[in-house]
């Protein structure tokens, strides 16, 4: 049975003035909150666990389980932090969502905060999206005005403050512990885990960090229940998911589909390849996920399926490239990105991306050799799993998968140097 | 596989421990131990850069990667052993048995070296460089990097004494973590991002920290180097001798590196109970005073004809000295001022010389403000203190509460400050500072200021906030008094009472390395060695016996204290003085001292360098500096800190030797010909078990109160100031905290100086003009650093802590 | 020293700084918005700006510098009236972003030299930078002016846009509020939107954003009907 689109989170985007309180309340807005406030917080945690909701920020960690790690009755303040630092290349679902339907995120925040007993929530939005921050800020003001935020929300006795916090341009702040450090007013460099944010997060207190899309899913789960949620998607990856299709397709855009849909199905909905030029390579979940090719048109795009096929689901940021794009060039550009965004804390990522970038730049200029390809792979091997956080791992994905499927292209760049014997002139040592 | 397992089933795992396997060997480790430490104990050194046992784990460099299996399942990625705590059943394979770990480590090493400059030939760290050593041991033999290295202009000075070479930096962040965690001085930080990340300071603020030198020592590469030591030497040229710092009373263990008769640098040595692995910058860098051009090398006597000082032989000098002292003894008596920087052996020689050669108890080592109450306190409470029964650094670290009174730890005892901060950071201990303003030490220990007028401290002890009182009653609470207590009437007495009432332990932390030693040696008018009261006939008899003196030889009355001695000299009652290294300007009344010295008294001076005392002396006898003699200090804990000779073959003579020979010229035998002999002689006295000096019982004094025209002065020494033992090291001097006068906004307004940049603080003796800064002092109080300006508090103002002073705008607009 | 800072950052800025601090449980969290605030006053983060933040938050200037130099959005030199950010990450570049950036570099340059990254045109109107992924990939190639989106650009439309900016015009973003300038954008990023209530109405839904919805509507697709979901029972307390 082929998959159909299931507009849930994206549904309200069609409505005029969808971002306003009026529109939101007319379209079932804050009904989930009312229902949640009538229940016990632990019921909500069980509900989200039962629904099988998995984090939509890339890692796919079971959300209800994450909430249950917060120690209750510990006497410490708890915090909810929303990771709205959408920066993974190819990912463009959270920004439109927050612009079109900010109240759905806010409602999700209030329900989640209630469930984990947090009275302060910070939405950390990347700084480069002013209109999104503007919409969020306005929605938060509207929510306060209506009594959905502040003290004694809807007479429940539950207090919550939300702060919309703008970042300042650092992809690494999408990593949850780097985000927490940034939110505390520091450099956005990741922290050691353990301790995990659930026990020691914001201000060393128990904290849940969740992605925008994850939390936005919560009001629907409260309203519709876990069975309804599980009616979409697959058993281990239930629910609807916003797939962002971009690149060389006729109709790029945001497509909300059940988890497990394939690229073949999505391509059909997106009008096929642009100008009919054949597909060459694509990313299932952003640049940090290993590339796929036309071989993988039928891979089910859920967490298990993508992993089984040798990549990761990531943020379902489907970037589609046709045959006009040089793989080494694309890989080089992505590596430049990782080098620019590397925080610098750990040796493999900081030095590794620096080195990899120069090799790839040299190769793209035609000054590379076959030995460079082997070096690239070996350097990647010394970075993958050795760096402090997943940025290092993400940085090597385009290179290793690019060479895996398109080694011939890399070699072709070295043709002019193939005859010269490879003499390594050691830049420093020969002096 | 099975054989090894069978053999080791006998290992018993005690409570609080776990058993794990490292490279096939089973090992038991305490819970919470970091894997890298456990491996070290096994003898397996896993390479590392960012790891340091005294800093919180970072896991940044990734050099220490090992393969780990937990619960039978291999962990998917190699783990950083510096951040992983041991767990029961863990199976670890280091580079010794795991090709994966070995390759990972080699990979990280290669990556570290791609941007590292090939500076070894010109880099100070070469020869003692963890990067060199670990690269050779764990790295590749060749480099595959043929791209362009990132470069920075180099070096840049992050302070006048620390130079930074950003190209060499491996971003281990030991320096930033040390500064932030241990010292509390976040003036050096990571800047930029990614491959441009670098260590740096703010544009307008150098790396100003009393502990900055430690970053040079812990930097695993040559990125942070000492400006004073740069390009001076290779480590394999140096002889390294363990030593003890001669500045404050902390007793930090040091390592002195020297060659060809000159000290090239000093480092901190490891002593977990005292200074852990740290020393302050004064201890590290202030050693050049011993080679200043005014160092005394030859004895001098005042020529009978010209009246000028001229060089003389030892024979002549000692003869002249002996004759002069003998005459002076007969003409009224001789006073002895040993100074506060002597070792036990040397101070003992002065003490014995006074009694045996000069027949007097007029001896007082306290060349600083002092009091009779203090004397009683030293005799009753300080003498004989030792780590087993007194307060230790460890006690400070674990005390639930510490109350400091008249003690500014960062300026006067930096090692104590570090422990206070550690105790607060690690255990949440409360630190209360009774003083006049929120100094950096208050902030950095998360402390609470208990403000009071200078001089009001004793009275304040009777009015402590209830929170403080309650905390002091908890077990292991500690009260610390500083040198300034001698200027506050009743403080010693009330502090003792408070300790008795609350059960808190009391300790005294003076500012100089030789204080406790001088007390033990009896270099005080009321005490013989070991705290024996001079007025106690049993005690005297003990000493006479040990010294081979006839019964009744020792003088029976208490002697004069330092002020008394100088006063008696000034009005002719004492005819002679034997003075050790004493700087007249440290005395409470420098004017009186100079008058005394100019009064025609016969002065024998034993000193290192020329000074206002040596210039007025009749005989000048040069003595050995600390690096030229063996000896023992006693730190504020009462802990003995022996040290050997560092620079051998200098032919310099310690004070004990000089006095021993001088005594012989005067027909007395000290038996202090060498430090070892002196120590043995002191040891023959044994531990004193008889009567002690009675404790002081002085009521809390009434402090001076500020008035319409007078403020009350608060003052203490900054760690890096114009002290003579800091001479000759401009790089260190450049890091001194700015000399400013501090007062509150309201006080400034009241004295009409609120808009003035420079203010003048004066007495009828003189004035000090300084930049002013606002701080949270009580109303009517102004604070000055004691010795950070050309005009000093003691000499120019003739004032001390608690004195009345005027405050006006600067007359001529220049600081002085 | 404090007097000098008062000259640069007046009472209004100080009040705003205090408001920022009041928003968070711990004051240091206000540092990032406060750096946007000082940037809104001077058009960049100056040493004075760093000192201001250090004073307000009781940090050392080194600690503030450490943060200010970490993030791309804090500029070291005064920005022009407008900041133009062109995405040159792989996808936008493949769709033409590199060409857009190259064209703008040439046109904004002077003396025959193209304008460099983060440099300002001689007339002080435009600072040009290449940017990383701006989370608008379905609308690429994308550029921003003062962090407002201009989607689906090509070298000609971009060049036209920049020419208008230099002529003092303020073309409307494809998604976002009417343009102001870099400093005013920074003030909003710091969290101050007073007097800008109408800005939220600036468009946000491009046809690409609504693509999935449109296709679903066309084909009559929808999510499963949502019942009134049953909540699980209250879990038993673990002993």
* DSSP code of residue C43: S
Asked if residue B744 has pLDDT above 80, the reply is yes
Decide if C204 touches A, using CB distance below 8 A. yes
Q: What would the pLDDT profile of A310-344 be if each residue is shown by its tens digit?
A: 999 999 999 999 999 999 999 999 999 999 999 99
The encoded tokens of residue C216 equal 């679903």
Q: Rg of chain B's alpha carbons, rounded to an integer?
A: 29
Q: Label residue A430 by pLDDT band (50, 70, 90).
A: very low
Helix (H) or strand (E) holding B23: none
A partners (3+ CB pairs within 8 A) are B, C
User: Are the C-beta atoms of residues B444 and B410 closer than 8 Å to each other?
Assistant: yes
Contacts of C153 (CB under 8 A, 6+ apart): C96, C100, C141, C142, C143, C161
* DSSP code of residue B193: -
Helix (H) or strand (E) holding B212: none
Cα B579 to Cα B621: distance, rounded to the nearest angstrom = 10
What pLDDT is recorded for position A316?
Answer: 97
Per the DSSP assignment, residues forming a β-bridge with A243 are A255
Q: Label residue B239 by pLDDT band (50, 70, 90).
A: very high
Cα B272 to Cα B30: distance, rounded to the nearest angstrom = 19
More reliable by pLDDT, B4 or A192:
A192
What pLDDT is recorded for position B812?
Answer: 58
Nearest to B61 among A347, A354, A382 (CB): A347
Residue A61, judged by CB atoms within 10 A of its CB (0-12, 13-18, 19+), counts as: middle
Decide if B197 touches A, using CB distance below 8 A. yes
The encoded tokens of residue B251 equal 């007793």
Average pLDDT, chain A: 95
Q: What would the pLDDT profile of B180-214 be if each residue is shown by its tens digit?
A: 999 999 999 999 999 999 999 999 899 999 999 99
Ranges assigned E (strand) in B393-501 = 401-405, 430-435, 448-451, 478-482
Give contacts of C 120-139 with B, CB under 8 A: none
End-to-end CA distance of chain C, in Å? Answer: 60
Cα B152 to Cα B142: distance, rounded to the nearest angstrom = 24
Q: What would the pLDDT profile of A282-321 be if each residue is shown by its tens digit?
A: 999 999 999 999 999 999 999 999 999 999 999 999 999 9
The encoded tokens of residue A320 equal 């589609």
Asked if residue B7 has pLDDT above 60, the reply is no
Residue to test with chain C: of A79, A185, A273, most C Cβ within 10 A: A185
Positions of chain C with pLDDT lower than 50, given as ranges: 1
Task: Domains for chain C: give ranges and CATH numbers.
Answer: 2-68 (1.10.10), 82-180 (3.40.30.10)
Asked if residue A231 has pLDDT above 70, the reply is yes
Decide if A356 touches C, using CB distance below 8 A. no
What pLDDT is recorded for position B811?
Answer: 65
Ranges assigned E (strand) in C31-142 = 82-87, 119-120, 126-131
Decide if B76 touches A, using CB distance below 8 A. yes
Chain C neighbors of A223, CB-CB under 8 A = 226, 228-229
- For residue B181, give how far its alpha carbon lies from the nearest alpha carbon of chain C (Å): 14
ipTM score assigned to the predicted complex: 0.96
- For residue B511, give how far its alpha carbon lies from the nearest alpha carbon of chain C (Å): 29
Closest CA relative to residue B328, chosen from B356, B350, B353, B358: B358
In degrees rounded to 5, what are phi and psi of residue C91? -65, -50
What pLDDT is recorded for position A1?
Answer: 54
**Contact across the interface for B108 and A382, Cβ inside 8 Å:** yes
Decide if B772 touches C, using CB distance below 8 A. no
What percent of chain B clears pLDDT 70, i.e. is strictly above it?
A: 98
Closest CA relative to residue C212, chosen from B13, A318, B639, B401: A318
Chain C neighbors of B202, CB-CB under 8 A = 47, 50, 60-62, 64-65
Q: What would the pLDDT profile of B754-789 be if each residue is shown by its tens digit?
A: 888 899 999 999 999 999 999 999 999 999 999 998
User: Are the C-beta atoms of residues C45 and C54 closer than 8 Å to each other?
Assistant: no
What pLDDT is recorded for position A421?
Answer: 47
Instruction: Kindly state the average pLDDT of the residues B435-464.
Output: 97
Average pLDDT, chain B: 95
Q: What would the pLDDT profile of B86-137 be if each residue is shown by its tens digit?
A: 999 999 999 999 999 999 999 999 999 999 999 999 999 999 999 999 999 9
- For residue C9, give how far its alpha carbon lies from the nearest alpha carbon of chain B (Å): 18
What pLDDT is recorded for position B1?
Answer: 45
Chain C neighbors of A187, CB-CB under 8 A = 66-67, 70
- For residue A378, give how far its alpha carbon lies from the nearest alpha carbon of chain C (Å): 24
pTM value? 0.95
- Report the C-alpha dihedral over residues C157, C158, C162, C167, rounded to 10 degrees: 0
The encoded tokens of residue A140 equal 């938060």
**Contact across the interface for B193 and C69, Cβ inside 8 Å:** yes
């Amino acid at each position: 049975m082929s998959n159909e689109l299931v507009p849930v989170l994206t549904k309200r985007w069609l409505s005029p003035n969808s971002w306003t309180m009026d529109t939101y309340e007319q379209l079932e807005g804050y009904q989930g909150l009312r229902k949640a406030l009538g229940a016990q917080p632990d019921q909500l945690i069980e509900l989200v666990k039962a629904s099988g909701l998995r984090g939509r920020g890339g890692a796919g960690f079971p959300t209800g389980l994450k909430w249950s790690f917060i120690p209750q009755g510990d006497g410490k303040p708890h915090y909810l932090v929303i990771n709205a630092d959408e920066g993974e290349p190819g990912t463009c679902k959270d920004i439109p969502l927050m612009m079109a339907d900010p109240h759905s995120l806010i409602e999700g925040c209030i329900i989640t905060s209630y469930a984990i007993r947090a009275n302060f929530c910070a939405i950390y939005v990347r700084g480069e999206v002013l209109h999104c921050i503007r919409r969020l800020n306005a929605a938060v003001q509207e929510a306060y005005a209506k009594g959905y935020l502040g003290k004694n929300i809807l007479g429940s006795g539950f207090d919550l403050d939300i702060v919309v916090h703008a970042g300042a341009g650092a992809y690494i702040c999408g990593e949850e512990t780097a985000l927490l450090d940034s939110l505390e007013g520091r450099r956005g460099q990741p922290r050691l885990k353990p301790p995990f944010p659930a026990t020691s997060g914001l201000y060393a207190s128990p904290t849940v960090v969740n992605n925008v899309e994850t939390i936005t899913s919560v009001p629907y789960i409260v309203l519709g229940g876990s069975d309804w949620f599980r009616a979409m998607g697959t058993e281990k990856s239930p629910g609807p998911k916003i797939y962002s299709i971009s690149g060389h397709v006729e109709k790029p855009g945001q497509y909300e589909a059940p988890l497990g849909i394939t690229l073949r199905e999505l391509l059909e909905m997106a009008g096929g390849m642009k100008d009919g030029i054949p597909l060459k390579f694509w990313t299932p979940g952003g640049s940090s996920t290993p590339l796929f090719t036309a071989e993988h048109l039928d891979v089910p795009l859920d967490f298990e399926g993508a992993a089984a096929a040798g990549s990761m689901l990531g943020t379902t940021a489907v970037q589609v490239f046709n045959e006009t794009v040089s793989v080494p060039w694309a890989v080089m550009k992505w590596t430049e990105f990782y080098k620019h965004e590397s925080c610098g804390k750990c040796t493999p990522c900081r030095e590794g991306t620096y080195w990899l970038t120069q090799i790839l730049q040299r190769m793209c200029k035609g000054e590379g050799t076959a030995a460079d390809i082997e070096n690239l792979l070996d350097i990647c091997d010394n970075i993958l799993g050795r760096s402090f956080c997943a940025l290092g791992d993400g940085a090597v994905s385009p290179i290793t998968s690019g060479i895996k499927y398109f080694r011939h292209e890399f070699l072709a760049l070295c043709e002019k140097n193939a005859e010269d014997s490879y003499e390594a002139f050691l830049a420093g040592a020969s002096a | 596989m099975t054989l090894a397992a069978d053999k080791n089933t006998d290992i018993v795992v005690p409570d609080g421990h776990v058993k794990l396997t490292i490279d096939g060997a089973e090992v038991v480790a305490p819970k919470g131990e970091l894997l890298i430490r456990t491996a070290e104990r096994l003898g397996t050194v896993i390479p590392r850069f960012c790891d340091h046992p005294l800093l919180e784990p970072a896991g940044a460099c990734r050099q220490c990667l090992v393969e780990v299996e937990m619960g039978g399942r291999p962990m998917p990625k190699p783990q950083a052993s510096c951040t992983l705590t041991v767990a029961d059943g863990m199976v670890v394979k280091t580079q010794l048995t795991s090709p994966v770990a070995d390759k990972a480590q080699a990979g990280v090493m290669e990556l570290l070296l791609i941007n590292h400059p090939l500076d070894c030939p010109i880099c100070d760290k070469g020869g003692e460089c963890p990067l060199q050593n670990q690269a050779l041991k764990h790295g590749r033999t060749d480099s595959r990097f043929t791209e362009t290295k990132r470069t920075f202009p180099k070096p840049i000075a992050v302070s006048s004494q620390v130079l930074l070479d950003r190209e060499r930096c491996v971003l281990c962040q030991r320096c930033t973590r040390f500064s932030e965690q241990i010292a509390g001085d976040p003036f050096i930080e990571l800047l930029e991002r990614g491959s441009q990340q670098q260590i740096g300071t703010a544009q307008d603020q150098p790396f100003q920290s009393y502990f900055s030198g430690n970053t040079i020592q812990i930097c695993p590469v040559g990125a942070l180097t000492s400006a004073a030591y740069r390009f001076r030497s290779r480590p394999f040229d140096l002889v390294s001798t363990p030593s003890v710092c001669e500045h404050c009373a902390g007793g930090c263990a040091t390592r002195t590196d020297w060659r060809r008769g000159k000290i090239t640098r000093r480092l901190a040595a490891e002593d977990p109970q005292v200074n852990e692995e740290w020393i302050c910058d004064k201890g590290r860098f202030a050693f050049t005073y011993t080679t200043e051009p005014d160092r005394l090398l030859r004895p001098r006597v005042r020529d009978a004809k010209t009246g000028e000082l001229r060089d003389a032989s030892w024979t002549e000098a000692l003869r002249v000295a002996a004759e002069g002292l003998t005459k002076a003894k007969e003409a009224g008596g001789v006073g002895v001022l040993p100074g506060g920087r002597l070792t036990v052996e040397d101070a003992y020689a002065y003490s014995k010389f006074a009694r045996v050669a000069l027949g007097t108890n007029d001896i007082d080592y306290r060349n600083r403000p002092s009091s009779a109450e203090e004397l009683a306190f030293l005799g009753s409470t300080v003498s004989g203190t030792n780590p087993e029964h007194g307060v230790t650094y460890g006690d400070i670290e674990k005390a639930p509460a510490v109350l400091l009174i008249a003690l500014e730890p960062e300026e006067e005892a930096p090692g104590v400050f570090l422990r206070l901060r550690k105790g607060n950071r690690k255990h949440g201990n409360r630190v209360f500072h009774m003083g006049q303003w929120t100094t950096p030490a208050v902030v950095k220990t998360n402390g609470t200021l208990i403000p009071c007028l200078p001089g009001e401290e004793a009275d304040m002890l009777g009015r402590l906030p209830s929170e403080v009182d309650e905390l002091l009653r908890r077990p292991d609470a500690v009260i610390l008094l500083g040198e300034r207590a001698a200027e506050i009437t009743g403080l010693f007495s009330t502090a003792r009472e408070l300790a008795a009432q609350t059960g808190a332990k009391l300790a005294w932390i003076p500012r100089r390395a030789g204080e406790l030693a001088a007390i033990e040696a009896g270099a005080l008018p009321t005490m013989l060695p070991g705290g024996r009261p001079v007025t106690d006939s049993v005690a005297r008899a003990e000493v006479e016996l040990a010294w081979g003196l006839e019964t009744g030889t020792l003088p029976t009355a208490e002697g004069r204290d330092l002020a008394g001695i100088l006063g008696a000299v000034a009005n002719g009652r004492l005819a002679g003085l034997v003075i050790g290294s004493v700087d007249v300007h440290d005395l409470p009344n420098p004017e009186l001292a100079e008058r005394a010295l100019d009064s025609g008294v016969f002065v024998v001076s034993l000193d290192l360098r020329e000074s206002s005392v040596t210039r007025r002396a009749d005989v000048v006898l040069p003595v050995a500096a600390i690096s030229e003699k063996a000896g023992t200090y006693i730190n504020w804990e009462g802990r003995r800190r022996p040290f050997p000779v560092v620079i051998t073959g200098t032919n310099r003579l310690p004070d004990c030797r000089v006095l021993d020979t001088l005594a012989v010229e005067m027909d007395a035998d000290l038996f202090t010909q060498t430090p070892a002999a002196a120590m043995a002689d002191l040891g023959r006295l044994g531990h004193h078990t008889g009567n002690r000096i009675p404790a002081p019982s002085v009521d809390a004094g009434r402090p001076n109160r500020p008035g319409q025209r007078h403020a009350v002065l608060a003052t203490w020494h900054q760690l890096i100031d114009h002290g003579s033992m800091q001479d000759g090291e401009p790089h260190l001097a450049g890091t001194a905290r700015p000399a400013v006068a501090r007062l509150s906004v309201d006080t400034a307004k009241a004295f009409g100086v609120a808009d003035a940049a420079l203010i003048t603080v004066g007495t009828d003796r003189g004035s000090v003009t300084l930049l002013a800064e606002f701080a949270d002092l009580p109303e009517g109080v102004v604070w000055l650093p004691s010795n950070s300006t050309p005009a000093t508090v003691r000499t120019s103002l003739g004032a001390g802590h608690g004195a009345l002073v005027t405050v006006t705008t600067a007359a001529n607009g220049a600081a002085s | 020293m404090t007097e000098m800072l008062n000259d640069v950052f007046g009472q209004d800025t100080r009040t705003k700084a205090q408001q920022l601090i009041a928003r968070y449980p711990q004051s240091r969290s206000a540092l990032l918005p406060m750096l946007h605030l000082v940037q809104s006053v001077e058009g960049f983060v100056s040493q004075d700006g760093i000192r201001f933040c250090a004073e307000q938050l009781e940090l050392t200037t080194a600690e503030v510098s450490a943060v200010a130099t970490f993030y791309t959005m804090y500029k070291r030199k005064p920005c022009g009236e407008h900041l133009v950010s062109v995405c040159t990450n792989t996808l936008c570049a493949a769709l033409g972003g590199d060409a857009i950036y190259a064209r703008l570099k040439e046109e904004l340059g002077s003396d025959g030299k193209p304008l460099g990254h983060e440099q300002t045109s001689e007339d002080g109107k435009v600072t040009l930078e290449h940017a990383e992924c701006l989370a608008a990939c379905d609308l690429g190639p994308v550029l921003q002016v003062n962090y407002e989106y201009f989607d689906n650009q090509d070298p000609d439309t971009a060049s036209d846009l920049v020419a208008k900016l230099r002529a003092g015009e303020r073309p409307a973003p494809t998604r976002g509020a009417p343009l102001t300038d870099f400093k005013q954008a920074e003030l909003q990023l710091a969290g101050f939107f007073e007097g800008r209530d109408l800005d939220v109405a600036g468009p946000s839904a491009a046809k690409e954003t609504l693509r999935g919805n449109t296709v679903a509507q066309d084909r009559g697709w929808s999510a499963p009907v949502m019942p009134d979901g049953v909540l699980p029972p209250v879990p038993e307390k673990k002993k």
